[in-house]
């Protein structure tokens, strides 16, 4: 039983301009603080869940998977509100995925409806949310009585045992007002309180940088002048208890909720490339026929050498269970050729494969260049090594549809890439936010732009007289540089990249979420590294 306090409301860098913690840092810090479990609940995304789950398991920390959802009013009011959703089991995680997906089906605005919450509510535990939750907003706007309607509606949707009234205390006056009303509501309705901290950064001393991060998001100097309390850091029980001295049971209830959660959604899937029950025999027979077509007029000694190379390679393909994959590539290249589409292998061991040459997958005979493939370098049997296929931009949709036709049940996705903001851009934006003149901003940007080595600030100052001069003579520059160094790697943009295609086995659709594009294409919310492991 996890009876101690467990952070259940935590944001990482995958909540852009809000969280300052990478999944790896979150697990490392939780382990250091000896937290038996910890949650990850980013804003309407599951990006980072796979990495977080794997690292937490390896570190002996129980991973709690959730998301902060955005929803329209449950009681017919105006606006969008936040709701903390946590997967209690694998069914719950699949429904969490569906709710995250639903956020991206409504054009530019991202939210879910009460109907969608009802449809996909099974297996989820919900907390009523931060100050942006609908119950809290009803209290803050003086709509007393509406907060009860909101919680009653949540109890109907998710079941009363799966609803908890979320309370926070960071020494903000509005939190005190909400805390008092929600405490009374909990007693009247018999729905328990749970304390969370809405963690955004790891350590208390990082508060200043998080405050500047919020200023960059809002692009307002006023936001920088009035910092909030430095209490949104990852806390242990002894750190958070003084803030809830009259509601200690709400602190410990987080452990009870964490104890209920048993999720293991990331079982690796596999794609069956073979369209025949005997791929080895099919490939061997196909290569035998094409060998005769290509090499029938070669000298006997040369044909013997080529045959020996082919036999060794066939044994390798059979041993590594890649015959089906090679047959799939043969079918794919035939299909694109029939449609007049250019497709080319740009890297990988296949360039050294005589089988690939016989199947017209690669244009050159590797034996003529003294190349001999000894292994396809598979990570495990039946899993092809990294392979890059390139086609022209106008044909990408046709290419994607051909892949889907050749792999029934598997769906092609485009990738979402996480791009870090450069130190140069961070420093320039912070300097502007803090009031630096345009000349100073441009000079700072020019100096930082010339550094391509991604060095720490101290090393950059050692190697640049102009940067040192600017640093010593301008307080705003000093503050901007130190903040930029702290925020390096913590500000990410998510770009939909339609030049990269990932084909996922059917079972992985239960564990990854996606964004729907304007023309029906789908972008998977999962890092390329995680996709490879899945």
Between 389 and 71, where is the model more confident? 71
Is a pLDDT exceeding 80 seen at residue 223?
A: no
Cα 283–Cα 284–Cα 290 angle in degrees, nearest 5: 85
User: How far apart are alpha carbons 53 and 56 in whole angstroms?
Assistant: 5
In contact, 167 and 133? CB cutoff 8 Å: no
% of the chain with per-residue pLDDT over 90: 66
Structural domains of the chain sorted by starting position, each given as residue range(s) with its CATH number in brackets: 23-260 (3.20.20.140), 279-409 (no CATH), 422-488 (1.10.10)
Of the listed ranges 75-79, 367-371, 405-409, the least confidently predicted one is: 367-371
pLDDT of residue 254: 98
Of the listed ranges 45-54, 133-142, 202-211, 512-521, the least confidently predicted one is: 512-521
pLDDT of residue 280: 94
In this prediction, residue 238 has a pLDDT band, given cuts at 50, 70 and 90, of very high
Is a pLDDT exceeding 70 seen at residue 469?
A: yes
DSSP, res 432: H
User: How far apart are alpha carbons 312 and 315 in whole angstroms?
Assistant: 5
pLDDT tens sequence across 284-338: 999 999 999 999 889 999 999 999 999 999 999 998 888 999 999 999 999 999 9
Is a pLDDT exceeding 60 seen at residue 237?
A: yes
Mean pLDDT of 515-528: 81
In this prediction, residue 369 has a pLDDT band, given cuts at 50, 70 and 90, of confident
pLDDT of residue 374: 74
Is a pLDDT exceeding 70 seen at residue 421?
A: yes
In this prediction, residue 522 has a pLDDT band, given cuts at 50, 70 and 90, of confident
pLDDT tens sequence across 117-131: 999 999 999 999 999
Is a pLDDT exceeding 60 seen at residue 357?
A: yes
Mean pLDDT of 70-97: 97
pLDDT of residue 507: 80
- In degrees and rounded to multiples of 5, residue 29 shows phi and psi of -70, -40
Among 218-232, 238-252, 440-454, the range with the most confident prediction by mean pLDDT is 238-252
In contact, 387 and 345? CB cutoff 8 Å: yes
User: How far apart are alpha carbons 256 and 239 in whole angstroms?
Assistant: 19
pLDDT of residue 491: 94
pLDDT of residue 177: 96
Is a pLDDT exceeding 90 seen at residue 367?
A: no
- What the block records as the tokens of 91 is 């069914």
Among 255-259, 276-280, 498-502, the range with the most confident prediction by mean pLDDT is 255-259
pLDDT of residue 382: 67
DSSP, res 435: T
- Model confidence, pTM: 0.89
Mean pLDDT of 230-253: 96
Element (H or E) spanning 391, and its range? Answer: strand 388-391
Mean pLDDT of 69-83: 96
Q: What is the mean pLDDT of the chain?
A: 91
Mean pLDDT of 77-81: 95
With 0-12 CB in 10 A as exposed, 13-18 as middle and 19+ as buried, what is 127?
A: buried
Is a pLDDT exceeding 60 seen at residue 463?
A: yes
Q: At how many degrees (to 10) do helices 207-218 and 475-487 cross?
A: 100
Give the pairing of strands 514-516 and 522-524: antiparallel
In this prediction, residue 147 has a pLDDT band, given cuts at 50, 70 and 90, of very high
**Which residue has 């990850």 as its token pair?**
40
Nearby residues of 281 by Cβ (< 8 Å), 6 or more positions away? none
Of the listed ranges 86-90, 180-184, 509-513, the least confidently predicted one is: 509-513
The secondary structure of 108-140 as a DSSP string is TS--B-HHHHHHT-TTEEEE--STTBHHHHHHH
User: How far apart are alpha carbons 105 and 119 in whole angstroms?
Assistant: 16
pLDDT of residue 224: 61
User: How far apart are alpha carbons 526 and 418 in whole angstroms?
Assistant: 9
Is a pLDDT exceeding 70 seen at residue 386?
A: no
Mean pLDDT of 49-71: 97
Nearby residues of 429 by Cβ (< 8 Å), 6 or more positions away? 216
pLDDT of residue 70: 98
Nearby residues of 436 by Cβ (< 8 Å), 6 or more positions away? 444, 474, 476, 477, 480
Between 378 and 425, where is the model more confident? 425
Between 463 and 22, where is the model more confident? 22
């Amino acid at each position: 039983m996890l009876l101690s306090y467990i952070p259940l409301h935590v944001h990482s860098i995958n909540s852009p301009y809000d969280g300052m913690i990478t999944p790896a840092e979150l697990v490392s810090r939780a382990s250091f603080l000896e937290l038996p479990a910890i949650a990850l609940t980013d804003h309407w995304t599951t990006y980072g869940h796979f990495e977080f789950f794997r690292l937490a398991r390896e570190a002996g920390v129980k991973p709690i998977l959730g998301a902060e959802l955005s929803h329209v009013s449950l009681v017919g009011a105006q606006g969008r509100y936040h709701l903390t959703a946590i997967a209690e089991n694998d069914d719950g995680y699949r429904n969490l995925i569906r709710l995250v997906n639903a956020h991206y089906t409504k054009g530019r605005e991202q939210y879910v409806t009460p109907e969608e919450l009802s449809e996909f509510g099974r297996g989820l535990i919900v907390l009523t949310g931060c100050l942006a939750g609908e119950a809290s907003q009803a209290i803050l706007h003086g709509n007393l009585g509406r907060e009860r309607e909101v919680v009653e509606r949540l109890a109907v949707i998710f079941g009363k045992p799966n609803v908890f009234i979320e309370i926070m205390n960071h020494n903000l006056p509005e939190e005190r007002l909400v805390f008092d009303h929600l405490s009374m509501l909990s007693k009247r309705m018999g729905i328990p309180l749970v304390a969370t901290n809405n963690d955004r950064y790891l350590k208390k001393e990082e508060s200043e940088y998080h405050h500047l991060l919020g200023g960059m998001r809002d692009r307002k100097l006023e936001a920088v002048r009035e910092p909030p309390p430095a209490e949104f850091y990852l806390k242990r029980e002894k750190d958070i208890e003084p803030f809830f001295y009259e509601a200690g049971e709400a602190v410990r209830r987080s452990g009870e909720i964490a104890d209920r959660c048993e999720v293991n959604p990331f079982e690796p899937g596999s794609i069956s490339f073979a369209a025949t029950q005997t791929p080895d025999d099919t490939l061997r027979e196909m290569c035998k026929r094409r060998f005769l077509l290509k090499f029938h007029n070669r000298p006997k000694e040369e044909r013997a050498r080529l045959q020996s190379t082919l036999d060794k390679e066939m044994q390798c393909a059979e041993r590594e269970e890649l015959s089906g994959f090679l047959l799939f590539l043969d079918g794919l290249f035939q299909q694109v050729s029939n449609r007049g589409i250019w497709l080319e292998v740009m890297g990988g061991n296949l360039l050294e494969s005589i089988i690939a040459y016989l199947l017209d997958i690669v244009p050159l005979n590797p034996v003529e260049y003294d190349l001999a493939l000894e292994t396809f370098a598979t990570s495990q049997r039946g899993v092809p090594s990294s392979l890059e296929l390139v086609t022209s931009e106008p044909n990408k949709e046709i290419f994607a549809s051909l892949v889907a036709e050749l792999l029934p049940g598997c769906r092609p996705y485009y990738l979402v890439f996480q791009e870090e903001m450069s130190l140069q851009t961070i420093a320039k934006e912070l300097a502007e936010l803090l009031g630096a003149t345009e000349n100073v901003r441009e000079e700072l940007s020019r100096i930082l732009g010339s550094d391509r080595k991604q060095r720490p600030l101290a090393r950059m100052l050692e190697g640049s007289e102009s940067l040192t001069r600017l640093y010593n003579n301008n307080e705003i520059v000093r503050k901007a540089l130190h903040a930029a160094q702290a925020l390096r790697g913590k500000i990410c943009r998510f770009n939909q990249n339609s030049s990269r295609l990932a084909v996922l086995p059917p079972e992985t659709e239960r564990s990854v979420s996606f964004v729907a594009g304007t023309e029906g294409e789908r972008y998977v919310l999962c890092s390329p590294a995680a996709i490879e492991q899945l």
